[in-house]
Amino acid sequence: MKIRIGIIGGSGLENAIEGERVLVNTPYGDVLVKVGVMVNEKVAFIPRHGERHETPPHKVNYRGNLWALKTLGVERVIATNAVGGIRDGLNPGDLLIPHDFIDFTKGRTYTFYDQKAVHVDLTTPYCPEIRRIIIEVAEEMGIKIWDGGVYVCTEGPRFETPSEIRMFRLLGADVVGMTGVPEVILARELKMCYATICVITNYAAGMQKRISHEEVNEIMRGKTRVIVEIMNKVVQRIPVERKNCMCGL
């Protein structure tokens, strides 16, 4: 059976989905995927940082992860990311579904196409259909969710400086994280739909006294259950045919 839906779980979701462990062979190395069932749908789950959160953002095998999902037949990817809130009004614990991103990473591998000039269109980087379904589901569940926002991705693994955050705010960024890029780009190169649920775990640098990894993890842990509940419903609602987006064209 083909697996249509892939989930890339960020911090806190490492063990959110149980399933059979499958090692998928890719040109970028072997990738551990957990194949599980969500309600009535088979899903392929990848904990982005490894099962024990051992891989930092700049060392994640982004190409391997996306390639492995594609190999299993996945056409639609739902991800999660921990982020800092930049825009006023965004508070720790809030969920936000970004519609666009700005890339401030520095040294990652951004493409599958090293031998050929391929320029993917990112006018609509995140799948509008999956975004809409996530937002609909959350609203029906009575969960507050922000529809749209600009995700700025930094190289990490350090947090930002207050001046960097001021710059990002001027540039129009709403949230800041370390793992959204190049994942979203690579999904598009493989013609997969991709959307992500951002969990705001802290106010960005300079907007609160200090930021700690422990604080980020604690907020994420507190949100794991609700995210899995949202995902369960989203997975059931994603249509088989991709008619309402251009991600696969």
Interface with ligand HPA (CB under 6 A): 82-84, 154, 159-160, 176-178, 201-202, 204, 211, 216
Residue 12 Ramachandran class (φ > 0 left, ψ -120 to 50 alpha, else beta): left
- What the block records as the tokens of 100 is 């666009």
Q: Which is nearer to ligand HPA, 106 or 116 (CB)?
A: 106
What is the nearest approach in angstroms of ligand HPA to the Cβ of residue 175? 8
What is the nearest approach in angstroms of ligand HPA to the Cβ of residue 21? 27
What is the nearest approach in angstroms of ligand HPA to the Cβ of residue 89? 16
Neighbouring residues of 219: CB distance < 8 A, sequence distance ≥ 6: 82, 92, 93, 199, 200, 201, 202
The amino acid sitting at 192 is: M
Q: Cα(154)–Cα(57) distance, rounded to whole angstroms?
A: 9
Q: Which is nearer to ligand HPA, 68 or 220 (CB)?
A: 220
Q: Which is nearer to ligand HPA, 166 or 191 (CB)?
A: 166
Q: Which is nearer to ligand HPA, 112 or 203 (CB)?
A: 203
What is the nearest approach in angstroms of ligand HPA to the Cβ of residue 76? 24
Neighbouring residues of 235: CB distance < 8 A, sequence distance ≥ 6: 5, 38, 39, 41, 43, 78
Burial zone of 42 (CB within 10 Å; 0-12 exposed, 13-18 middle, 19+ buried) = middle
Going by the DSSP 8-state scheme, the letter that residue 154 receives in this structure is: E
CB-nearest residue to ligand HPA: 84
Q: Which is nearer to ligand HPA, 178 or 245 (CB)?
A: 178
What is the nearest approach in angstroms of ligand HPA to the Cβ of residue 196? 13
Q: Cα(155)–Cα(103) distance, rounded to whole angstroms?
A: 9
